[in-house]
Amino acid sequence: MKRRQLVGWLVLLSITAAGCDSATQDATRRTNTTTGNAAENRQAADARTPKPHKGPKLPGKFRNLAAGDGAAPDCKRDLSSLPAEFTTSPAVWMSTIQGPRSLVLNSENALCLHGFTAKRAVSVTVSDGRHGYTTTAQPTAGKLTFDRYEPPESLFNGARLRVYDIGSGVMQSETWDFVPQSAARESLAAAGHFTISAAQGSTTASYRQSVGVPTNPERARLRGENKRRLVIYGFKQGDTIPIGLYQLAGEASDQATLVRQLGSVVMPRSRTAVFAVPQSAAGNTYCITVPLATQYNCPSF
């Protein structure tokens, strides 16, 4: 009798031990899987995020030169350089001063529509293959003036965008600095293209456009908003770019002297970064800039 009990206890202990080993192995596998996924996620993030390295230094002084640019996108002119069917059927595209084939992040651009009635709103969607952004183009009475700017995130912020009848069946928006929010910028830069689509009832159109990243180092105040934001672009990916506050002096305020460094940005894949300017740096006796070979129109806030 005692021998049978002893054998039973031994069998029970063997089963329990086997169960513990199995649970331990399962826990180990789960831990290894979780650790592996985390490592893969970190590696993917590292691949997307450039490793920062030193960029150019801020100059102690510079001469602030003046320059002007009166050009603007022209949707009617674009029709001659677009596919032939665009002149006889509904069409949608984004255009720059150089036309629809030179779209680059941070360029001054406008929305163009052809073959849609100016009596109803048009739904416009921009998709890079991974993300889509839809907004409404609203036909508006009056004339295109080019004396105001739409917000930099236009077409990516869901807000209505006014378009104006400019003749020949074409509607065009005011211009804006093509600087969507950070996630959209990086997604567009990775894709290198997007598809823009328009729908007004049963009337539809779409067009695939290439989009490039800026390669000429520059900076500018973002227009079309009441925020104090400086856009820095064109520097090499990974460059750490310092941002300086300068005191303006001289009769024409063309002499600028460094007061202090406000901060820095690291150039992402899109080679476009946005810096929020603090209130303490505002005023027309100051300007804010980054290291450039020649300084034109140093922005004041």
Nearest to 177 by CA among 231, 123, 237, 129: 231
Q: How far apart are the first and last CA of the chain?
A: 95
28: helix, strand or coil: helix
- Token pair of 289, please? 């800039």
- Please say whether the beta carbons of 64 and 295 come within 8 A: yes
How high is the pLDDT of residue 11?
40
Domain ranges of the chain: 1-48, 53-67+214-289, 75-210
How high is the pLDDT of residue 49?
60
How high is the pLDDT of residue 47?
43
Q: What is the pTM of this model?
A: 0.81
Name the strand (E) or helix (H) holding 177: strand 176-177
Cα separation values, 33 from 29, 41, 198, Å: 6, 12, 45
Over its length of 301 residues, how does the chain's per-residue pLDDT go in tens digits? 433 443 444 343 344 444 444 444 444 444 343 444 444 444 444 445 667 778 799 999 999 999 887 789 999 999 999 999 999 999 999 999 999 988 999 999 999 999 999 999 999 999 999 999 999 999 999 999 988 999 999 999 999 999 999 999 999 999 999 999 999 999 999 999 999 999 999 999 999 999 999 999 999 999 999 999 999 999 999 999 999 999 998 766 789 999 999 999 999 999 999 999 999 999 999 999 999 999 999 999 9
How high is the pLDDT of residue 219?
98
Local structure of residue 75 (DSSP, 8 states): H
How high is the pLDDT of residue 48?
55
Phi, psi of 32 (to 5 degrees): -65, -40
Fold for the domain defined by 75-210: Immunoglobulin-like (2.60.40)
